[in-house]
Structure 1
Amino acid sequence: MTSASEADWRIFRGDGLPRPVTLPPAPPWRRFSPTPAVRPELPYLIQPEHADVVNASLHLRRPLLVTGPAGTGKSSLARAVSHELRLGELLRWSINSRSTVREALYQYDAIGRLRETTLSRDRGESEPSIGTFIRLGPLGTALVPSTTPRALLIDEMDKGDVDLPNDLLTVFEEGYFDIPELTRLPEDMADVEVQTADHRGSVTVHQGRVQCAEFPVVVITSNGEREFPPAFLRRCVRLALQVPDADRLRAIVTAHLGEEALSDAEDLIDTFVHRRALGELATDQLLNAVFLRNSGVNLNAKELLKAVLHQLTGEL
């Protein structure tokens, strides 16, 4: 990568003077595309023993529960599996304190249906199909029957309600769910087209039940903030990721930014390992620092390096 001079990297000057600027290329891990299929797929480095655990979950058709500190590549592992196995666009369910299994399976817009039905009657038109107002969530879309399974990332499970893992047990065990709004329909309306979470169009739901043909590839991440119930753990294959040591950090830098970037990054790796011992850091913070150094940024400035390698826990 061609290095810019130290002065050139400052796009924002803080002097109040408008000026035309051209943003430099983004880091590889911060490049996006409106079409997910054409986004660049970054290399994912995984130890052989960890890859074996992933393979065990694939053979057993069981969810993979990945634990470890922030920045150890838990979410990236799901993307890597989906990409390598050609399972299509990765479905993602990001958990928060209000997340429910119901919303992950499907959403029904009853108010929208009532409004559109009333308007259609007033215009003398036929009523819109109920399927127009039902959209499958990421978990529901993953359970749509297909010849190859879909990949689903359930991110940060420990952020959810304490009952959320138990609420997933039936779906994980049986591989299906019912949509009550459709199961109550008469026999002549047994097949209903509903929307999917990936906005690829619609799928047909028969008699209100979505039943997978192949259990999806499910990767569940957790930062280890709380324990899960035994019944939930029994249905998962567990993988614990550790923070990478200095040698592994060198391999990660090389894989993402090349040998040239690594040759000028030894002091940054040493600083990263030292600061990580004082408080939690994520590996992508090191990549950010190396990328800036490789772009001509002087990271000897104490405040700038502190801003990039800020600790996620503990004292700054």
Structure 2
Amino acid sequence: MTSTELDVAVLTARGAQSTAIANALTAAGACVRALNRATAALDDPSALAAALEDADVVVYTAPLDYTSAVAEFAVNVAAAAAAAGVTRVVYNTNTRIPDTPTSAIGFESRRDTWQILTAGPIPVTAVEPAIYLENLLAPGVLSSATADGGLVLRYPLPGQVPVSWISLADLGRAVAAACVHGSPGEIIHPGPPAMTGPQLAAAIATALGVPVGFTALDPAVFEQGLGYAIGAGPAAGVASIYHWLTENPDSPVMSPEPGRCPGWLPASTPVAEWAAECLTVSARG
């Protein structure tokens, strides 16, 4: 089956990730149902099943919820997909998940969802992005450092942690490809080659034509600032990932694994190319 033959239901479609996924599927020629809380509430199994009726594939992006409701949502999605006769679920975890359990709810809530979905009768493919390049657009991440136009990149990661930074557009294309080519139980790692913090800063410097230095931000400071934007609970869940990575700087979890980068996976945009297009205005603002 090709993308033009697919009817794809995209859940939580008002978020930035799901919007990028819906856009990529539409560009690939799929028939896309962008479903939001009003049309397919994750806590309403019957409404979900009705919204998914006659869909071939369901794309589920884990919401920024790290409470016990996350497991309920996963159970409901699995049940609704089965009731509607869906042939496949593609699960966007919105983070990489370490192979072994951790203390970070940001990882473990996504692992729990994967286990619940794969325990159901519908085949599931997971797409595990590392960290989004769009995070660099947040206030205070990239800012002026010197009078001669130099910049400093502040991010809550130790400098030596390698990360496969991926854009939302590339996430969308990866999920769209997984809707066509993904296999049951397959875990996909989209994204370009991993970069450390200083390497990321150097790529941005090349794109912008100004010096850029990297500084590791304290995850507690990051969490506090994020809390003002999305609330303390979701911020704690997101920040738990950065706390864990700071405590485990040698972990390769945010790097691609060759066996999880299949040949059908679309090539990702180089970081310097993305930065030249997306960071020029914001970085100098």
For Structure 1 versus Structure 2, the TM-score category normalised by the shorter chain is: 0.3 to 0.5
Bigger radius of gyration, 1 or 2?
Answer: 1
Structure 1-normalised TM-score? 0.31
Q: Which protein, 1 or 2, shows the higher relative CO under an 8 Å CA cutoff with sep ≥ 6?
A: 1
Structure 2-normalised TM-score? 0.33
